[in-house]
Amino acid sequence: MAVSLSDVKLYLRIDGGAEDSLLQACMAAADSYLISAVSDYETNYEASADYAAKADLVSLALISEMYRNRDPSNDGRADYPFYIRSQITQLQYWTGGDADA
């Protein structure tokens, strides 16, 4: 949502624009994934800077996984790594706790 293409390129250490369209597709897929996986995602994202910061980091991690593991014939994993699943669970059960709420 608030993760920009320049944020993604910095996170992935990518220079140049040759893969911008692929990165934008990964960004859209990560947003869609989080919206579908987490109840009230958009509402909580807008309501809390703390939630948004955590969600942005999870989004970057998802984008990284999608970008780096895009060869389906070479990927034996059936799921995202534990740290991503754990962060998504924390977003799902988020109860507030910052001054913006």
* 4-18 confidence digits (pLDDT tens): 999 999 999 999 999
DSSP string, 16-76: SSTTHHHHHHHHHHHHHHHHHHSTTHHHHHHH-HHHHHHHHHHHHHHHHHHHHT--GGG--
Half-sphere exposure of 29 (CA within 13 A, CB side): 14
Read off the pTM: 0.86
How far is 26 from 45, CA to CA, in rounded Å? 19
Instruction: Tell me which residue of 3, 1, 5 sits closest to 23, measured CA to CA.
Output: 5
What's the pLDDT tens digit per position in 64-99? 999 998 876 665 666 889 999 999 999 999 987 654
CA-to-CA distance for 65 and 37, rounded, in angstroms? Answer: 16
